[in-house]
Each structure stands twice: as structure tokens, then as C-alpha cells.
Structure 1
Amino acid sequence: MSNTAPNPDDTPPAPRKLTPELTEAIAAIILSGNFRYVACKRVGIGQRTFKRWMALGKKYPSGIYGGFRRVVVAAETEAETRAVAAIIRAGQEDAKHLEWWLERKFPQRWGRGRGELLELKREIAELRKQIGPAACSE
């Protein structure tokens, strides 16, 4: 057993009261493109507190937590919209940005492994024909 005092940095911050100012601060951090956990660290709340507030917002959409949830989701939606628009704009100058976006948005059609995946599917179908349906059902 150690006589050393616990490091206060190892314990999550105590839950804070949800306020409109805190909601706006979190939304601004998320809107600038950060993840939820980064917003939590920046404003000094634990991730569990954030998740609890989001769950309460889902359960009670008309209260303060419902408003919090709507603001967070709206900030995430706006951040994503802005990011995609920036990628599309960058693609006007350099097509690699559009290629990157297409690979992720439509991986079945544009993914880098698409050709290899189709070839593997063809090979599997051919092998199934060769060994027969009985062997495939085992």
C-alpha cells in the first residue's frame, strides 16, 4: 500500500451545473471541428457528465437538457457541413481532395480496395463452383 497521495489529475472533474453559457461554450468548440471529448476537457466537465446530459436531453426534450442536446447536435451538423464544403472547395484546385471524399463517402464505388474486393468475390464464387454446394454448406 502506497502512502503517496492520489494525483488529482487522475480523477475526473466534478459534475458542473448545466448553464446556457456552458452550452454555448461546448457548442463553439464542437462547431470549430473538435470532438465531444475535447469540448469536455476544454470546459472542465467529465465525459460521463456530458453523456448523462445528452441522455437526459433525449429523455426530456423540452427541458434544459433537451436544449443542450439540440445545440450540440446542431453544432456537430454545422461543423460537418462546413468541413465537407471546404473539401469540395479544395477539390476545385486539387482533385485529390475530391478523391479522398468520394473514397470515404462511397467506399463501395470509390474505395481503394474496391478492385481487390471484387476480384476476391469472383475467386470465392469460382471456388464454390469447383468444390460444389455441399461443401459450402458445412
Structure 2
Amino acid sequence: MTKIVSPEEALIYVMVSTSAADRTMTDSELMKIGEEVQTLPVFSDFDHERLVTVSRDCSDLLAEGGVDLVLKVVRASLPIKLRETAYALAIEVAAADLQVEQDELQFLLLLRDELELDRLHVGAIEHSARVRYRRI
């Protein structure tokens, strides 16, 4: 039986797993996670004081069963309407330090496959991030 967490916790699991994918959680990625939890409407009912605890729970789950287990928990815990939100949050965290590593790209691929996201929607989410993080 797959562990079930709240939708907010599942979204945090996605962001933490994205940050940890390249085995380096940068300050900019951690700040982005905190910022998203503090500001996005999807987290309005979430107790922000629990962010560190939920992040540790995700890290423990990663250590226990790897990315595959975390992705199964995320899929089981997220309503379908939040799957694209999860991918958008993953993209935001991956782009936070202005360089996306190969391990992060691999995680994003696994995430979109596990969540069965439409390729056109994925492309639109990725394009939106590229435009927002573009440099002059």
C-alpha cells in the first residue's frame, strides 16, 4: 500500500525531490521552495511552520525507497487537477539557480511520466519558465 500525504505535502515532495535530484540543494532552490509555499494560493491552508518537517519526511522517503517511491506517493496523493501544478513547481525549483542539471532533467521526465501529463501542457509550462528566467 502506498503512503498518502496531503496534496500540499505532495507538492512539497515534488519541489524537494527536484532540488535533491542532482544531489545538491542550492540556497536559491531552497529559497524558491520557501517562497512558493509562502505565496501560492495552493498552500493557503498549509501550516508554513511545517515546511522543514515535510521536507525531512521527503528526504527520509527518498533515502528509504528512492525517487520511484516518492513519485508513487505524489501520484497517489495529488488530485488530477494539481498534477500540472506539481510539474510547474518542479520546473520553478529546477530553474531557480539558473542552470538545470542532467539529473534534474531526468527527474522532470520521470515526474511527467508518472503524472501522465499531456506533452503540449508540459511544453507550455517549460516554455513559460524559459521566458521568465531569460537573461538579457
TM-score interval w.r.t. the shorter chain? Answer: under 0.3
- Which has the bigger relative contact order, CA under 8 A and spacing at least 6? 2
Structure 2 length-normalised TM: 0.24
Rg bigger for which structure?
Answer: 1
Structure 1 length-normalised TM: 0.23
